[in-house]
Amino acid sequence: SYFQALYELIDSGLFDTVGHIDGYKKYATSYYGKSISKIHKGRIEEILSLMEEKEIGMEINTAAYRKGLGEFYPSEDILALAGRFGVPVNSFGSDAHNPSDVGFMVEDAIMLAKRHKLNIKTYRRQR
């Protein structure tokens, strides 16, 4: 399953940052409707706990909003949980494929991270 693959990715310790934690909503929303945005409930907690344990942060990406989903990757409820688990934000992105999309709503994403009391870190490990 998606969540098992995500767990294994995090458990590998090969990455500093996980992006698009709920990236499935990009394609699944048109098929399953808005209910897909809640599929993580009861599953994401284990993922966030492992991220905290492995000291792996997350990206907040604004592309989902730009593409009409009305929220960022990850959704605000996942960000709230991440704050409770102590998962930091290591990256803010906009998935710019055009110059006009560079930095799209990144200031809003930073404010959202601060609202949820997420620790914002920037660092790179030697890999």
Domain assignment of residue 126, yes or no: no
Domain with 68, as residue range(s), is 2-115
The encoded tokens of residue 1 equal 């399953």
- Phi, psi (deg, nearest 5) at residue 88: -80, 165
Structure letter (DSSP) for residue 105: T
What percentage of the chain carries pLDDT values higher than 70?
87
Structure letter (DSSP) for residue 18: E
Cβ atoms of residues 110 and 57 within 8 Å:
no
The count of domains in the chain is 1
Helix (H) or strand (E) holding 117: none
Domain assignment of residue 124, yes or no: no
- pTM: predicted TM-score of the whole model, two decimal places: 0.86
Q: Is the pLDDT of residue 92 over 90?
A: yes
Task: Write down the pLDDT at residue 26.
Answer: 77
- Residues 55-82: tens digit of each pLDDT: 999 999 999 999 888 899 999 999 999 9
> Cα separation of 19 and 22, whole Å?
9
The encoded tokens of residue 102 equal 């560079």
* Cα radius of gyration rounded to whole Å, the chain: 14
CATH number at residue 73: 3.20.20.140
Domain assignment of residue 79, yes or no: yes
Domain assignment of residue 125, yes or no: no
Domain assignment of residue 83, yes or no: yes
Query: What number is the average pLDDT over the span 100-122?
Result: 92
- Residues 7-34: tens digit of each pLDDT: 999 999 999 999 999 888 777 766 676 7
